[in-house]
């Protein structure tokens, strides 16, 4: 199941878009700050409001996301018709698509899911397996521990796990990991990588506490036999 981040106005009067997301095989997560974008597979900026100010706020979010060179796909959603000028502006600023009045919910969520499936297929290799206690499944963004516990990750988290898995028992530096995930030479690469590792470890819990080892001031190492 993909996690779809939703960016809304400061005081949203209509939460129907969240209900739509949750009822269409997605998990919704309200995004309120930039750091949370690492926790989702895609972002839907909701400008479903009659005020033009909401469109401008949506464009501001879009601009800031692309300034950070975020690899996560971003769409805009508006319940009112958007002019061609508005739609072209959104696309020029880096939106992967614009949904407005006229498109039915089924079509919109099919487009979202197809896009994420394509990204997932290009970002991950074929299913990784070994006779160790770890099995990775790119189709579901999940990791199986001891053949019993299946843990699900976001696309970015799974890219991290897959990268460490492919270089198992080798220490991968913060820069190596950052370059693989974002390709942007970000100055805060250590923080970004550490944040993703924190999210992964939180999901691994006690059963997988020894899976990823921190090598102080250098990076991380995955131990296939450590789960």
More confident residue, 198 or 146: 198
How far apart, in whole angstroms, are the C-alpha atoms of residue 61 and residue 148? 41
Is residue 78 a contact partner of residue 47, using CB atoms and an 8 Å limit?
yes
pLDDT band at 186 (very low <50, low <70, confident <90, very high): low
Mean predicted confidence (pLDDT) in 54-61: 80
Q: Is the pTM of this model over 0.75?
A: no
Q: How many CB atoms lie within 10 A of CB 114?
A: 10
Q: What is the pLDDT of residues 98-136, one digit of tens each?
A: 887 677 778 888 888 888 887 776 655 444 443 346 788
**Whole-number percent of the chain with pLDDT over 70:** 82
CATH architecture label of 134-222:
Orthogonal Bundle (1.10)
Chain length of the chain: 227
Among the ranges given (10-14, 32-36, 67-71), the one the predictor scored with the smallest mean pLDDT: 10-14
Q: Are 188 and 180 in contact (CB under 8 A)?
A: no
Least confident residue range of 33-37, 127-131, 153-157: 127-131
User: What is the secondary structure of 135-184 as a DSSP string?
Assistant: EEETTTTEEEETTTEEEE--HHHHHHHHHHHHTTTSPEEHHHHHHHHT-S
Q: Tell me whether the CATH fold assigned to 2-123 matches the one assigned to 134-222.
A: no
Residue 147 pLDDT exceeds 80: no
* Domain residue limits, the chain: 2-123, 134-222
**pLDDT attached to residue 200:** 93
Q: Indicate the class that CATH gives domain 2-123.
A: alpha beta
pLDDT band of 177, cuts 50, 70, 90:
very high
Q: Higher model confidence: residue 146 or residue 151?
A: 151
């Amino acid at each position: 199941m993909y996690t779809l981040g939703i960016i809304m106005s400061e005081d949203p009067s209509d939460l129907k878009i969240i209900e739509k997301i949750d009822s269409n095989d997605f998990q919704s997560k309200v995004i309120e700050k930039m750091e949370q974008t690492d926790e989702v597979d895609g972002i839907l900026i909701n400008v479903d409001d009659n005020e033009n100010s909401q469109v401008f706020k949506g464009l501001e979010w879009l601009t800031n996301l692309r300034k950070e060179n975020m690899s996560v796909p971003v769409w805009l959603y508006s319940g009112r018709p958007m002019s061609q000028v508005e739609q072209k502006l959104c696309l020029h600023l880096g939106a992967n698509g614009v949904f407005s009045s006229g498109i039915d919910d089924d079509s919109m969520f099919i487009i979202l899911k197809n896009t994420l499936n394509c990204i997932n297929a290009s970002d991950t290799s074929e299913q990784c397996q070994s006779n160790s206690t770890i099995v990775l499944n790119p189709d579901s963004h999940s990791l199986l521990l001891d053949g019993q516990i299946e843990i699900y990750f976001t696309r970015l988290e799974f890219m991290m796990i897959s990268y460490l898995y492919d270089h198992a028992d080798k220490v991968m530096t913060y820069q190596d990991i950052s370059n693989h995930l974002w390709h942007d030479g970000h100055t805060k690469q250590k923080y970004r990588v550490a944040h993703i590792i924190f999210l992964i470890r939180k999901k691994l819990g006690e059963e997988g506490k020894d899976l990823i080892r921190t090598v102080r001031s250098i990076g991380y190492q995955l131990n296939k036999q450590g789960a």
